[in-house]
Structure 1
């Protein structure tokens, strides 16, 4: 079970402080979808959390179905007349008929799935000419502070090493481990932004945050939550990290940070 699916997980903080997905991302998805005559009737968002993607999809699709394994997330999800929420795993979409949806999305979640079973179910529920869109953001980058990358990686290793879920290594590899069956999907497109080796690719996920707002985001990390549950009486390691960063980089609380995220976007067309 992931931290996010636990009953006591603070879904309101997740909803409030995680980065949002902007119009540029959806336009990439919709442009790809239109390119093979995909329809805009039904969309299915997997691991919807509190519905951030579902609410965006509801602006372009007639009906959106959104599922999550966590009842807590579903109870606190963003409501809209054309969104139907339900509890379901990514690997068992049996509540949905075959060839019934035009778009399947999985945002910053596919690394938690049994990916083979998820691909099988996505192929089944998608209509011919439907689209599978998978994306994820990874470790954040502070644009004006290149040294931050190494500092944060060392911090994560030293403080949260025992709480690091090995499935997150799939994110670090930009989902390159995912294998798409040529019998199920065609025209598979990858867009990777790693902040260093892809200078011609613009970041999909960016924010301008003050230091306190940045801290609130960091405290939604799953391994931070796991650490604090295991060490409730220990000093907060994030507070210490931020104090060290403030001293090193001369930050004030009102400092505005240009936050980017390493990311991957995968788009695939369902074969007829």
Structure 2
């Protein structure tokens, strides 16, 4: 198993500054995680002896993950450092399996204020761990997770065109150039960890002071591959998404590197020369050149991602 070599930590600022309205826009714009991810997490938790008392989603944002799994647990909690995100999550609501409202709490992941020791059966962290200081997060998790509990950490990187798209090679080149050139200067350290499929994320046994409460022997790392491909050991087949141009633009609007690009180019943001709008026109042109009908342009997209599963001994 490769050991991460870069231990730098960059605090996330874009989403932390979100208002409640921005949080609800984020919730409506982002596509759902594949059901197979949730099923795999629940199966791992069940088959390794996990209980279904309390679930906690850390870095919950507007709460889609905890809302999805809450009905399987007696109690459910979402934690996020952004007051705006927590306000939007509370407005959107949700109930646990015992019909109790999900409890949404403002807290940093590294401190988990108000969370009692040995009180959590399943911890989920979706597209957020790359913003945490893992040297503080793992020791705190060891305190709040019950023995026999599970920690599930996952993230999907920037969506890329599937090979079944018209003009797929040109599309891939276009979006790769967008990510590697236009957005690269606006990538924070956390973005790059996410793009690495968490190969550089610090694990309980790779931090300076290892946390022995998490079992390295039962650890699983599952790389996401598109459905239809041969699935090898250590891989998880996820569906291919079909997105309209409007879908792509809404998703891009919630990406932190896009926010930073707009902050660096205030004269272009929101105009026809905005990076998102300009990129959309280029994508539409490449699709049309490939024979796609201009009145129904869609992209079949894959999300390079990874799911990490840990057990608390």
TM-score by length of 1: 0.92
Deviates more, 1:113-122 or 1:156-165: 156-165
> Which has a greater percent of strand?
1
Equivalent position SS for 1:225:
helix
CA-CA distance at 1:115 after TM superposition: 0.9
Q: 1:124 — aligned with what?
A: 143
Equivalent position SS for 2:310:
strand
CA-CA distance at 1:60 after TM superposition: 0.9
CA-CA distance at 1:176 after TM superposition: 1.8
Deviation track 1:15-74 (CA, whole Å, cap 9, x = no partner) reads 111121232111101110011211111011001000001111212111101110000101
CA-CA distance at 1:166 after TM superposition: 2.2
CA-CA distance at 1:122 after TM superposition: 1.3
Deviates more, 1:103-112 or 1:255-264: 255-264
Cα pair distance change 1:173/1:233, threshold 3 Å: same
Alignment of 1:19-30 (within 5 A): 19-30=31-42
Deviation track 1:198-217 (CA, whole Å, cap 9, x = no partner) reads 85245436422212212211
TM-score by length of 2: 0.80
Q: 2:305 — aligned with what?
A: 263
Q: 2:8 — aligned with what?
A: none
Cα pair distance change 1:138/1:224, threshold 3 Å: same
Structure 1 gaps of 5+ residues are none
Cα pair distance change 1:219/1:205, threshold 3 Å: farther
Structure 2 gaps of 5+ residues are 1-11, 96-100, 206-210
Runs of 4+ with deviation above 4 angstroms? none
> Does structure 1 retain, via aligned residues, the 8 Å contact 2:160–2:175?
no
> Does structure 1 retain, via aligned residues, the 8 Å contact 2:18–2:84?
yes
CA distance in structure 1 between the aligned counterparts of 2:203 and 2:236, rounded to whole angstroms: 25
Q: 2:213 — aligned with what?
A: 184
> Does structure 2 retain, via aligned residues, the 8 Å contact 1:203–1:261?
no
Alignment of 1:88-103 (within 5 A): 88-103=107-122
Equivalent position SS for 1:64:
strand
**2:256 matches 1:222:** yes
RMSD over equivalenced CA pairs, Å: 1.9
Alignment of 1:107-256 (within 5 A): 107-143=126-162, 144=165, 145-177=168-200, 178-181=202-205, 183-186=212-215, 187-193=218-224, 199-200=230-231, 201-204=235-238, 206-234=240-268, 235-250=273-288, 251=292, 252-256=294-298
